[in-house]
């Protein structure tokens, strides 16, 4: 199990619905470590870069408009196998199919309003972190519970 960093974002619907704390709390309770966090409004160009892989999809314009419609909370989250661990906590893209117990399964109804984003691979984590954070915004620190979260 390798220590990984992943990019997580509470989308505008999550912020408006008062779900920032709920999402952060689920990540913390799992044992993940938040190593960077900020609120921002995503400029249109940055949204298009972040979602570049979907540029040709029919929902692309709606997606960019959704993600730029209000403030988001962006995070870098660290832990062993953090990319898969967070994707599992987040659940399937479409909340209709997302399992109960996952963020989307418990808190969302519509694929176009699915509360949270999380990187789906090491390559996308690296790319997405670098879009939202500079190296000096990511904090390297030890958490006191690490010996209780992980078997050494």
Interface positions with ligand IDP (CB under 6 A): 59, 63, 93, 111-112, 114, 117, 120
In angstroms, what is the minimal distance from the CB of 45 to ligand IDP? 18
Cite the annotated binding site by residue number. Answer: 11, 59, 87, 93, 104, 114
User: In degrees, to the nearest 5, what angle opens at C-alpha 97 toward C-alphas 102 and 58?
Assistant: 115
Q: Note whether 14 and 116 are within 8 A (CB).
A: yes
In angstroms, what is the minimal distance from the CB of 51 to ligand IDP? 6
Phi/psi zone of residue 8: left (φ > 0), alpha (ψ -120 to 50 degrees), beta? beta
> Of 117, 129, 132, 133, which is the active-site residue?
117
Cite the annotated binding site for ATP by residue number. Answer: 11, 59, 87, 93, 104, 114
Which residue number places its CB atom closest to ligand IDP? 93
| Residue whose CB is less far from ligand IDP, 131 or 143 | 131
From CA 76, how far away is CA 70, in angstroms rounded?
20
- Residue 54 annotated in active site: no
Q: Note whether 76 and 35 are within 8 A (CB).
A: yes
Catalytic residues: 117
């Amino acid at each position: 199990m390798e220590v990984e960093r992943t990019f997580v974002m509470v989308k505008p619907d999550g912020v408006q619905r008062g779900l920032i704390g709920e999402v952060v709390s689920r990540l913390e309770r799992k044992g993940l470590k938040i190593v960077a966090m900020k609120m921002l409004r995503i400029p249109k160009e940055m949204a298009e870069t972040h979602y570049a892989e979907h540029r040709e999809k029919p929902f692309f314009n709606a997606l960019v408009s959704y993600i730029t419609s209000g403030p988001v909370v962006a995070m870098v989250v660290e832990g062993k196998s953090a990319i898969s661990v967070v994707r599992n906590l987040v659940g399937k893209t479409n909340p209709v199919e997302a399992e109960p117990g996952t963020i989307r399964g418990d808190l969302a109804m519509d694929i176009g309003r699915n509360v949270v984003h999380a990187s789906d691979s090491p390559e996308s984590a690296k790319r997405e972190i670098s879009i939202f954070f500079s190296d000096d915004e990511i904090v390297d620190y030890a958490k006191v519970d690490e010996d209780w979260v992980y078997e050494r």
